[in-house]
Structures are given as structure tokens and as C-alpha cells.
A and B are shown apart, each in its own frame.
Chain A
């Protein structure tokens, strides 16, 4: 637990980072390599969010366990399962009942977010999705979050130092007494084109941070990576925001901590 938080009073929250999982399959004549990457750290419950996005490494994207023969539908189903599991775990950490999910809606959002290549091209590629949901509920004024995570009022704060990035989506968020933002960047990462989404909302005593990374890689072909990523960029933005909204819904009904 960050010292600032520990000093601020009772806290309960959750940072969810799952295990690494790779899905790789043969899809028609093309090698449809898919990676669902849910990378994280032990002791994640109290981990502060990183000061700046860290591009995924080749090892993170490719050196993973293979699940041969699964179909794109299997990939989507696996990601739906991952998302539901993360949100259920968030609910447990927040001390609220397991939330209900509109699975058909979630399945549609995920299916739309799966990268795909033009039907007439055989391009081996891989993709990874990393989701991190972090919530905090404090008895008093909320403190302790890394300064890199604060409510942004315009897109200028979305930047990543020393990286040539594009802010492809920025919106200010407000609901009840919560303020926040949803900022989405794209840039070239170690092994392809990366989309990084940060959804953050807070009020005086609680906040939710949902980080969603989506990377598409084609060896030695950043241009192609961008094309493939671009085709599903909006769908991934929508999915990232949907996860953020669900996280906020859960945060709002969480009980206040007791001493």
C-alpha cells in the first residue's frame, strides 16, 4: 500500500492483473496469432499505477504459452471470460455482490474489438490486450494516487514522455459527483502498434482507474500493424470505456470502509 494511502485512513480497493495467456491458432490459410495479455505484478492490490506507459516487450507479446487450434470465436470467448473474472474480482475486493453482466452485449463488444486482416491477405500477426482495473475507497479525502493519474480537463495531459504518440480520443467524464477523463493514445511499441487507454474517475473519497492496452504486431511491418490496428481501434475504445463504466458502477455502490 502506498504510504500516502496508508496515512490517509482506511482503504479498500483492488488492482486486478491476471496471468499471461496466449492464444495462437491457424485461421484459414493465415496464421492468426492472438495474444490476450493480462500482465501484472504480484502485490498488485496496493500498486500505484505506472508513471508512464511502458511499451510491451517482445517477450511479453510473443514468448507465451500457445493454445493451438482455437478459433477467433474462442479468442473472443477467452477475453470475455477474462474481463468478467477481473470485474468479479474487483467486486469481491470492493465488498459488493458479484455484479450482473449483459453477456450478449459484452460478447458483441469483444467480438468487434478482435483485430482482423483483410480477407484476401494472409498476414501472420499477433495481438495483445492488457486490462488493469484499480479502485480505491477511503474513509476520508482521497490521497496517495500517483501524480501521473489525475483528472484531466483537456488532452494536453495525455502525453507520454519521449514517445511520439497520437491522442486519438479524449473525453471529459462527469457522473454524479465523479469527475474524470478517458484518454486514448496510439504509438509504435516494441513489437507493433499500441493503443493505450486510460479511464479515470474520482470523487472526494474514491476513484477507479481502468488501463487498457491493445497492441497489434506484424514482424517488420509497422505500417501493416497500424492498418490492422486501425480497423478495430474504435471498437477497442468502446470496449475500454464499457469496462471503465462498469468499474465505476461497482465503485459507487461499494460500502465505505470501517475502521
Chain B
């Protein structure tokens, strides 16, 4: 059996923002403005990495980013006031595997049937804040999103997997917000944007799913 693995889009954006050192501390409003001012550059960076994904589903990257940029902006946390050292980052990647023989590719994962199964598989991921089964165009799978707080960091992780007769796909999204040495402040930073990060994770997973549905063996998509 000849298998062709298509590493698709491998989009990965890591966005990190930290406050100025205490000597240059700014008010929270200014920090927020500074953070949001940097969003266009980060959007541009993400656009480059999402280009293959957009191409694979026949969507103009500009149109796609016009849709995603507002979602990214609201996924950004509001920086804490004072001289706290804080950071926010997210990452996304996806992968399609398609065979040209029509046979099932190697590397299958488990399709999770429910939120409990997800929690059991990722015991460190925290409570399941979003779960859906996926049944779409011959693909069956799941998306599970968890959120946890540990020490001074909040972390949201999305794991999406779906498989069909001759293919499978996976997509991951993770976002994290932290405030140095201050767990309460970290939660206050991250929790207000959890829902918006969930929405972004769902949107990106849907794009990856669409790409997997259209993927062809040997294609560049």
C-alpha cells in the first residue's frame, strides 16, 4: 500500500506579549492599546501560515483573515494593570493524511464519543469546556476543548480529530495567558477571553476539516 502523507498548512503562530519592565510600566489602558497595536503584525504572520490552508479550500487569504482578525482581537486578554509581567500566546497546527489507494492510512487515533472520554484521555487538560462530535462529508470525529489553570498560567487546549475511509485529519489549538507569580491575576487575565478563544478554536478546526474533506492524495493541500 502506498501512502501519501500530506502535511497540510502546518500553521503555527506563537504570539507572546509581555509588559514593559517595572521602570517603564504603563497604565493598563496603554498596555491594551499597545498589545492590540501589535495584532495586525501577528495577523499577518498567521496569514502567511494559513495561506496553504486557505488555498486548499479555495478561499482568498485576505477574505479569510478579514474574518479571523476580529476573532483574534477579542481572543486577546486585557493586560493587568501595574507592573505585572504577563504573557499571552497561542498556537495552531493541523495535518491531513490521505492515501492514494483508498485504504485507511496509518496513524489513526481514537474518535472520542463523549466529553468524559476526552477528559480521561487528557487528564491534565482540565475540565472540558467544549465538546462536539463531528459527522461531516464522510468524516467522523470529535473536537474537544479543555481549560485549566496551573500556578500562574491559564491554558486552553483544543484537539480535533476526524477520519474517513482513506484519510484522517487532526488540528490543535492552544492558548495560554500568564501573570508572573500571581495565579489570581492569571485567572483574571485569561478567563474573560476563554469563550472567544473557544470560538477561534472552533473556527480554525472547521477550516481544517474543510481542508481535509477536499484533500487529495499527492496534492499540496
Question: Chain A residues in contact with chain B, CB under 8 A?
Answer: 153-156, 158, 166-172, 174, 186, 233-234
A79 to B: closest C-beta gap in Å: 21
Contact of B129 among A153, A166, A186 (CB under 8 A): A153
Question: Which residues of chain B (124-171) have a CB below 8 Å from chain A?
Answer: 127-133, 135, 147
Contact partners of B131 in chain A: CB under 8 A: 155, 167-171
Complex CA gap A168/B134 in Å reads: 10
A154-B127, A167-B131, A234-B135 given; A172·B198 CB < 8 A: yes
A70 to B: closest C-beta gap in Å: 28
A168-B131, A234-B133 given; A155·B115 CB < 8 A: yes
Do B129 and A170 have beta carbons less than 8 Å apart? Answer: yes
A155-B128, A170-B128 given; A233·B195 CB < 8 A: no
A-B contact list, 18 entries, CB within 8 Å = A153-B127, A154-B128, A154-B129, A155-B116, A156-B127, A156-B128, A166-B113, A167-B114, A167-B115, A167-B116, A168-B115, A168-B131, A172-B129, A172-B194, A172-B195, A174-B195, A234-B133, A234-B135
Question: Which residues of chain B (171-221) have a CB below 8 Å from chain A?
Answer: 194-195, 198
Contact partners of A154 in chain B: CB under 8 A: 127-129, 147
| A interface: dominant SS | strand
Complex CA gap A186/B135 in Å reads: 17
- Those 4 A-B pairs whose CB atoms lie nearest each other, nearest first: A154-B127, A166-B114, A167-B115, A155-B115
Contact partners of A155 in chain B: CB under 8 A: 115-116, 119, 127-129, 131
Q: How many A-B residue pairs have CB under 8 A?
A: 52
Complex CA gap A172/B131 in Å reads: 10
Which residue of chain B has the shortest Cβ distance to A169 in the bound complex? B132
B46 to A: closest C-beta gap in Å: 24
A154-B147, A155-B115, A174-B195 given; A169·B133 CB < 8 A: yes
Do A170 and B116 have beta carbons less than 8 Å apart? Answer: no
Which residue of chain A has the shortest Cβ distance to B196 in the bound complex? A174
Number of B residues near A (Cβ < 8 Å) is 17
Contact partners of A167 in chain B: CB under 8 A: 114-116, 128, 131
Complex CA gap A155/B126 in Å reads: 11
Contact partners of A169 in chain B: CB under 8 A: 131-133
Contact partners of A171 in chain B: CB under 8 A: 130-132, 198
Contact partners of B133 in chain A: CB under 8 A: 168-169, 233-234
Contact partners of B127 in chain A: CB under 8 A: 153-156
Contact partners of A170 in chain B: CB under 8 A: 115, 128-131
Do B113 and A168 have beta carbons less than 8 Å apart? Answer: yes
A78 to B: closest C-beta gap in Å: 26
Complex CA gap A167/B128 in Å reads: 10
A57 to B: closest C-beta gap in Å: 25
Which residue of chain A has the shortest Cβ distance to B135 in the bound complex? A234
Complex CA gap A172/B135 in Å reads: 21
B135 to A: closest C-beta gap in Å: 5
With contacts A168-B113, A172-B198 known, what are 10 further pairs, Cβ within 8 A? A154-B128, A155-B119, A155-B127, A166-B113, A166-B114, A167-B114, A167-B128, A168-B131, A170-B128, A172-B195
Contact partners of A153 in chain B: CB under 8 A: 127, 129
Contact partners of B115 in chain A: CB under 8 A: 155, 158, 166-168, 170
Contact partners of A156 in chain B: CB under 8 A: 127-128
Contact partners of B198 in chain A: CB under 8 A: 171-172
A172-B195, A234-B133 given; A166·B116 CB < 8 A: yes
Complex CA gap A234/B147 in Å reads: 24
A202 to B: closest C-beta gap in Å: 15
B199 to A: closest C-beta gap in Å: 9
